[in-house]
Structure 1
Amino acid sequence: MLHPATPWARLWRPLAAMTLVIVASNFLVQFPINEWLTWGAFTYPVAFLVTDLTNRAAGPSDARRVAAAGFALALVVSMALAPWRIAVASGIAFIVAQILDIAVFNRWRQQSWWKAPFIGSVLASVVDTLVFFFLAFAGTELDWLMLGTGDLAAKWAMAVVLLAPYRAMLPRLHCWVPAR
């Protein structure tokens, strides 16, 4: 068992949430709703919520720690639940998008409460979508450009929807990541 003072012990909630979100998204992206949207578009944006809450509560260093560990854990589990190409594409897109989200969040963190999570999520979603859909589906029979466009629109809509739980958690950040 980890000692409560270690960074990993403090970060167990965001790490567990991140792993769950990525694994669920990697599984659900395999199931199109229609020609331009997959179920993964509704779960994946929660990864940005996890990162943004962690960044606000504990800073960019811990947010990067959660992103890196979440990436590694989710990649291993995703390799068991999703085709290898989807798992690898997801991992690469995820870590690049998370690093961007953390950087953008930090640039905007002193502005109105909603700007940092919204702008970071919107920009990181573009990068994530382009990298993921190209690596996962280019050369397959799926119309990945159409799916990517639909998923990006859903991710942007989710960026707006997820502002509500982000705002609700702001006074409870000590529960998300306890103080050192």
Structure 2
Amino acid sequence: MTRTHLPGIIAMAAIVVASNILVQFLFGQWLTWGAFTYPLAFFVTDIMNRVYGASAARRVVMVGFVVGLACSLVGTQIMGEFGPLVTLRVAIGSAVAFLAAQMIDVSIFAALRGGTWWRAPLVSTLIGSSIDTALFFTIAFSTSLSFLHPATNVSWASEPLPLLGAGPVVPLWVSLAVADWAVKLSIALVALIPFRIVTARLMRSA
């Protein structure tokens, strides 16, 4: 880890902390404000990968993982109206999803880095984001995984409702996952422009 990696480390840590705070605040019926900051973690990972390589990107991911664990630990100790702000299942889901998705993102990016400039960040982020969403919401809220922590009450997340208020009837957590996934994909597309600008400037100054 060198001093040149410090901006990436700070950015990743800030995104993880901000997302853990903002996830407590609702945005509409299906999202939280954290849904709009968390996808930026993929943006930082991909910039580090493009400019400094996969090894540096993995180090930054590990920093984000450790910071995320610390945030979850703090959250489990803060009591809200309905119990701890962060339940054990949410903590497990968050940690597993972040580490798996980010590491897969790094590997896919590295495999595609020699192609057209937009292919590696777009494909790696789309796949990583999809894995992240699937792992987190399934681990945190699916009744099939209630054995992870039987004391955690996730019955509210299994309430049958129309998908996003208009589709087929599914558990509530599926609508939450679909909305979260849609935001991630949208940000992945929009982020291609600043990705191109930032990486070009960093590579010129490197």
Question: Which bracket does the TM-score occupy, shorter chain normalised?
Answer: 0.7 to 0.9
In structure 1, which of residues 154, 162, 167 is the aligned counterpart of residue 196 of structure 2? 167
Map of 1:83 onto structure 2: 86
1:113 shift after superposition: 1.1
Are 1:98 and 1:124, in contact at CA under 8 Å, matched by a contact in 2? yes
Aligned residue identity for 1:131: L
Could you tell me which runs of 5 or more consecutive residues in structure 2 were left unpaired when the two chains were aligned.
76-84, 144-153, 158-171
Aligned residue identity for 2:10: A
Are 2:23 and 2:32, in contact at CA under 8 Å, matched by a contact in 1? yes
Map of 1:52 onto structure 2: 46
Map of 1:3 onto structure 2: none
In structure 2, which of residues 12, 15, 20 is the aligned counterpart of residue 18 of structure 1? 12
% identical aligned pairs? 41
Name the CA distance, whole Å, in 1 between partners of 2:24 and 2:187: 19
Higher relative contact order by CA 8 Å / sep ≥ 6: 1 or 2? 1
Aligned residue identity for 1:164: I
Structure with the higher strand share, 1 or 2: 2
Q: Which moved more, 1:102-111 or 1:75-84?
A: 75-84
1:155 aligns with 2:149: no
1:174 shift after superposition: 4.8
1:106 aligns with 2:135: no
- Count of matched residue pairs: 171
Compare CA radii of gyration and give the structure with the larger one: 2
Aligned residue identity for 2:67: L
Are 1:33 and 1:39, in contact at CA under 8 Å, matched by a contact in 2? yes
Query: What secondary structure sits across from 2:68 in the alignment?
Result: helix
Are 1:23 and 1:78, in contact at CA under 8 Å, matched by a contact in 2? no
Map of 2:96 onto structure 1: 92
Are 1:53 and 1:173, in contact at CA under 8 Å, matched by a contact in 2? no
Could you tell me which runs of 5 or more consecutive residues in structure 1 were left unpaired when the two chains were aligned.
1-6
CA RMSD of aligned residues (A): 1.9
1:108 shift after superposition: 1.4
Aligned residue identity for 1:157: S
TM-score (norm 2): 0.76
**Could you report, residue by residue, the CA deviation over 1:67-98 in whole angstroms, capped at 9, with x for unpaired residues?**
11221123213432451433332121000001
Name the CA distance, whole Å, in 2 between partners of 1:164 and 1:115: 13
In structure 1, which of residues 133, 137, 140 is the aligned counterpart of residue 137 of structure 2? 133
